[in-house]
Amino acid sequence: MAEGFAGASTNRILEGFGGSKPTMFRHFPTKRALFEGVVARIADRWSQAVDWQAIPDHGPQGWLKAFFTRTAVWILGDDNIFVGRMAIAEGHAFPEVGIVYRARALDPLEQVLAEKLRSWSAKGELVSPHPEQDAAALLDLTLAGLVNRRLYRLGEVPDAEELAAYLEQRIALFLQGRGRYVRTMSKGAVGLPFADLD
């Protein structure tokens, strides 16, 4: 992580944690495979860190706030930022970084979110005609700015209060666009004013 893919030699890696080259190459036949393994291990931690099944579902706003708070804290951690920086710096030569991370962490997060949007739509709590697209958009809306600022060192990681305010604003924007107003508009009515969206 300190040296990046190109700068990290297998000798230095082995010095850091012990072991022999034959043992390492038995598990990871190439340095590329070793880095893929590191990225996969980091990505797989999303499930435990977010623990979305333990979030009580008392409606979209509360669930989304808890989900995105947990997700943001996890994704802004040093390991995930390392993966992001590596994907930017080495992505042209090592596209597996982004592919593995997306498949192991981002796609499952999107799937969880899409399923919740589908469920809330079925209950009439919001309107999400395309849950998968809405899930991707909501992830971008809530997390992309935070991650970009951390990747490019454009300020400190927000404290808990700042993070809560940041996420609440973005979740409110999303819910305003997927609340009762949209449902009435989709039926051809004039719709309710946003002030009526409680």
Q: Which domain holds residue 140?
A: 35-196
**How many structural domains comprise the chain?**
1
Domain assignment present for 152: yes
Q: Above 90 in pLDDT, residue 170?
A: yes
CATH of the domain at 87: 1.10.357.10
Domain assignment present for 107: yes
How confident is the model at residue 106, as a pLDDT?
96
Domain assignment present for 6: no
How confident is the model at residue 21, as a pLDDT?
82
How confident is the model at residue 163, as a pLDDT?
95
What does the alpha-carbon distance between residue 82 and residue 45 come to, in Å, rounded to a whole number? 14
Q: Above 80 in pLDDT, residue 45?
A: yes
Domain assignment present for 135: yes
Domain assignment present for 88: yes
Query: How do residues 110-128 score in pLDDT, each as one tens digit?
Result: 999 999 999 999 999 999 9
DSSP string over 10-41: HHHHHHHH---HHHHHHH-SSHHHHHHHHHHH
Domain assignment present for 75: yes
Query: How do residues 47-77 score in pLDDT, each as one tens digit?
Result: 999 999 999 998 999 999 999 999 999 999 9
Domain assignment present for 11: no
Domain assignment present for 109: yes
What does the alpha-carbon distance between residue 139 and residue 121 come to, in Å, rounded to a whole number? 18
Residue type, 59: G
